[in-house]
Amino acid sequence: MVTQSPSIQIFAGVQEELSGVSLRRNKLSGQRSAVLIFDKLESLEHFRSYWKRSANAVHLIDEEGEMLIEPSGVRFLYGGPEGEDLRRVECKLEIDQNDHWDRFMRFMNRYAAANDMVYGESGPSAPP
């Protein structure tokens, strides 16, 4: 049996490399979310986003199939001497159903294993 290597796509057919993930839970509502962090987006390199179709969703593909999750927010963070260099992209996914969260976590575990990523707790964050 051939297994599907886990991949993340924002534009069809263009695989993105995840730099980090932040898993969050709202203390008041219990709402769970994940922030996918990309240091660069392949779909923006060489203007690939102009010739590839987007479904306005993040495609998470692995051996269980494909999940499409519409981001609740995307932040583009710039820096450099002129402030024009893309430093990071943060894509927030809100996942409210337990079975969807479980499926997301199975994908993330597979993606982490395939890309030598490790899980680590972060300390308390400062309020924004």
Give the pLDDT confidence of 6-35 residue by residue, as tens digits. 999 988 888 999 999 999 999 999 899 999
pLDDT at 42 over 90: no
Going by DSSP bridges, is the β-strand pair 65-69/73-79 parallel, antiparallel, or unpaired? unpaired
pLDDT band at 111 (very low <50, low <70, confident <90, very high): very high
Half-sphere exposure of residue 58: CA atoms within 13 angstroms, side-chain side:
26
What is the per-residue DSSP string for 17-68? ---EEEEEE-TTT--EEEEEEES--TTTGGGGGGTS-EEEEEEEEETTEEEE
pTM as predicted: 0.81
d(CA 57, CA 49): 13
pLDDT in tens, 50-70: 555 555 789 999 999 999 999
Domains for the chain: give ranges and CATH numbers.
7-114 (2.40.30.220)
